[in-house]
Amino acid sequence: MDFTETKKPGPPDFENARNKRQKVRAAGMDPNHWYAVEHVDALAPGDVTEVTFWRKSVALFRDEWGTLHAVENRCAHRQLKLSLGLVEKDRIVCPYHGWQYDGEGRLVSVAHELFGKKLPKCKVKSYAVRERYGLIWLFFGDPAIAFDVAMPEIPELEQEKPWACIPLDFTIKAHHSMIIDNVSDFTHAFLHRKYKPFWDAKLVEMKEEENRVLVSYDTVIGGGGATKYFVDRNNIDTNSIKLGYEYPYQWSNTDGQIKHWLSVLPIDERTTKAFFIFYFKSFKVPFLPLRFPHRLMKTVLRAANEVQIKPVMAEDIMACEAEQRGYEEHYDEPIAEINPAVHAFQALTIRKWEEYLEREAAKKRVKLRRGATDAAE
């Protein structure tokens, strides 16, 4: 060890990254997708909250009639965060001078005299928002294309007798790519040696496609901890699992009966909010060859969340946060990653971010050119 070293400046940003690991740990996520940001019941009519995507702040509010709106989180007057304000009818009101904005971000009223002037023409950006699967989803990119862009399709949660599901969220002090690596890389059974959500994993398939990476493991699923009592191992093939990093989401599928989707909300380079939608077709009654009736599934899942899913997640969070701290200290050490699936996930994250940056740069070039032509005319 070299004790003469002065303090390092910290990991490089994306542009200055010197290798693939530094690139992936600095990459953002393409805002032109739907991202889960909150639970639907976290915002009652009249509530407002702040949502952050890659350091950009958004005020998300539910108007008095129950409709959600999302606008850039700043008052055009003196740049206070609108999320510090309040909701009146279908408007968000800045707490300082009471300027009011509609759901499109247009200034529609000012609560003081105008000094003989007209209402200023001000508009802050607005974002597309929707509610699905018990979660609020925001589209941080171009609102004009939002509803043409796919989001996770989960028919099992929208059919007449939906599968059991309680979305869970965790704020993790780690880069989003570390979380994607964690959930799709089953070499870390050692971390979960107490609860054994999976073990003896062998990567049997990996396919890289344009927008996704598909992997399959032969492994024992759900055989440890409390899960073994609730998973119907006689009727579910728990010896393999399929996983996908379907940019920007991640999912798993165990024999078409136990599934999940994960949506990561990248807050900044070292903070991510992860929304897990686990859903189960059925649960077995412990020690009996019976399944729980449909109406009790949520109660069982609530218990399973406490005794199995959350404790396992706590181990993953501990590991990801420790990895983030380790990376910030040792970002220049040689790369020692041996799972090819991890390399594939990282390559996809990097490529998608590069494509986004290139599209944005092209837009700016067009704007500049147009500006130059207008000036010349």
Judged by CB under 6 A, the chain residues 97 through 116 that form the site for ligand FES are 97, 99
- Residue 73 vs 308, nearer CB to ligand FES: 73
Residues 91 and 71: their CA atoms lie apart, in Å, by 11
Candidate list 17, 26, 94, 264; residue touching ligand FES; CB under 6 A: 94
- Residue 318 vs 366, nearer CB to Fe ion: 318
Residues 254 and 109: their CA atoms lie apart, in Å, by 54
- Residue 186 vs 353, nearer CB to Fe ion: 186
Pick from Fe ion, ligand FES, none: which does 101 bind, CB < 5 to 8 A by kind? none
**96 near ligand FES, rule: CB under 6 A:** yes
Smallest distance, ligand FES to C-beta of residue 127, A: 20
Pick from ligand FES, Fe ion, none: which does 80 bind, CB < 5 to 8 A by kind? ligand FES
Judged by CB under 6 A, the chain residues 298 through 357 that form the site for ligand FES are none
Long-range contacts, stretch 311-316, CB < 8 angstroms, 24+ apart: 311/195, 311/225, 312/192, 312/195, 312/197, 312/225, 313/168, 313/170, 313/276, 315/191, 315/192, 315/194, 315/195, 316/182, 316/183, 316/191
Smallest distance, ligand FES to C-beta of residue 1, A: 52
Smallest distance, ligand FES to C-beta of residue 119, A: 13
CA atoms within 13 A on the CB side of 350: 18
**Which residue ranges make up the site for Fe ion (CB under 5 A)?**
316
Residues 220 and 196: their CA atoms lie apart, in Å, by 9
Judged by CB under 6 A, the chain residues 71 through 90 that form the site for ligand FES are 75, 77-78, 80
Pick from Fe ion, ligand FES, none: which does 319 bind, CB < 5 to 8 A by kind? none
Contact 161, 294 (CB under 8 A): yes
Q: Coil, strand, or helix at residue 40?
A: helix
Pick from Fe ion, ligand FES, none: which does 316 bind, CB < 5 to 8 A by kind? Fe ion
Length of the chain: 377
What is the distance, to the nearest Å, from the Cα of residue 162 to the centroid of all Cα atoms in its chain? 23
Smallest distance, ligand FES to C-beta of residue 78, A: 4
* Residue linked to tokens 């089953």: 186
- Residue 84 vs 307, nearer CB to ligand FES: 84
- Residue 77 vs 173, nearer CB to ligand FES: 77
Pick from ligand FES, Fe ion, none: which does 78 bind, CB < 5 to 8 A by kind? ligand FES
Strand ranges in the chain using DSSP code E only, listed in sequence order: 34-39, 48-53, 56-62, 68-72, 86-88, 91-93, 100-101, 107-109, 126-132, 135-139, 164-165, 168-172, 198-208, 212-221, 240-246, 249-254, 258-268, 271-280
Using CB under 6 A, count the residues that bind ligand FES. Answer: 8
Task: Name the residues that contact ligand FES, by CB under 6 A.
Answer: 75, 77-78, 80, 94, 96-97, 99
